[in-house]
Amino acid sequence: MKYRAFTRKQLGIPYALFLLLFVVLPLSVVLYYAFTDAMGQFTMQNFLNFFTNAKTVGTLLYSILIAVATTLACLVLAYPTAYILAKGVFSHGAALMMVAVTPMWINFTLRVTALKEILSVIEGNLAYYPFLNTVIGMTYDFLPFMILPLYTSILKMDSGLLEAAADLGAARGEIFWKVMLPLSMPGIVSGVTMVFLPAMTNYVVLDMMYNSTYIMGSLIGSYFNFYDWNNGSMISSILLAMIALLSWLSGKFGESGSREGGASL
């Protein structure tokens, strides 16, 4: 029996159908409700109401503040960890990396509940530190997402470039800022993207850490709970635009950082 080889277009049909049904179609529905009112008429009033309301703008700014604090905390903790695992004296860095990522396999609610109990013993009353505890909870949750791309980026880094910089008389600080940091920029950009945007919408940590302040994710949920699909979709489209912008900037920034790291030598 003679089998006919499939072309690339034919092999791409299942993937195209998947994108159409689970990406394009849902996004089209979200955009439709975002730009229409309850009567189905086209309007921009949903966006005008959001950006002219002090509460919703405050929610957006608070969400960005939490996301920035969480991302910076993850980056500060993850970079030295990833460097030690990738370039340290450990002969089984990959195995230790798996240990760092293993908490991701445990149920999210169980992990945050355990962290809440630990913080309650240390602090006494979690309600006194809602912002701090939220950042701690989100950092604990998203830290592996920062470590993994940094570890991969640093592991692929050519150690000969660092040695060459040292031979040319560069101090340790100069080697880090002018060579190592730019070369690891793709991992930093990937980690920041994977942490920043989910941290803006993950309201479960806020609820479990007794933080009563709304963020973008909880605001979207409140609208949909009251069957206000138009405003819920409007906020979702704002986040979608932010994701697209951040992804574009991340790609540009990661490419320029890698070129600068190579050119610095």
pLDDT tens digit sequence for 85-113? 887 766 566 677 777 777 777 778 888 88
Q: How far apart are CA 35 and CA 235, in angstroms?
A: 11
89 falls within a domain: yes
**pTM tops 0.95, yes or no:** no
Segment 180-203 shows an average pLDDT of 88
Instruction: Identify the pLDDT of residue 122.
Output: 83
Instruction: Identify the pLDDT of residue 1.
Output: 47
Burial 37-64 (b: 16+ CB within 10 A, else e): eeeeeeeeebbeebeeeeebeebbebbb
Sign, CA dihedral 225-228-229-235, equals negative
Segment 218-235 shows an average pLDDT of 90
Instruction: Identify the pLDDT of residue 174.
Output: 84
Sign, CA dihedral 136-137-140-143, equals negative
250 falls within a domain: yes
Q: How many CB atoms lie within 10 A of CB 184?
A: 26
User: Helices then strands (H, E): number in the chain?
Assistant: 15, 0
126 falls within a domain: yes
Percent of the chain beyond pLDDT 90?
Answer: 31
158 neighbors 234 (Cβ within 8 angstroms):
no
11 falls within a domain: no
92 falls within a domain: yes
Structural domains counted in the chain: 1
- Joined together, the tokens standing for residue 151 give 């570890």
Q: How far apart are CA 119 and CA 240, in angstroms?
A: 34
144 falls within a domain: yes
CATH number at residue 116: 1.10.3720.10
33 falls within a domain: no
Range of the domain at 167: 58-263
Segment 43-69 shows an average pLDDT of 93
SS3 254: helix
**pLDDT tens digits, 115-158:** 888 888 887 777 778 888 899 999 998 998 999 899 888 888 87
39 falls within a domain: no
Sign, CA dihedral 106-195-237-44, equals positive
Q: Is 169 left (phi over 0), alpha (psi -120 to 50) or beta?
A: left
Torsion of CA 141, 143, 147, 149, to 10 degrees: 70
> DSSP letter at 171?
-
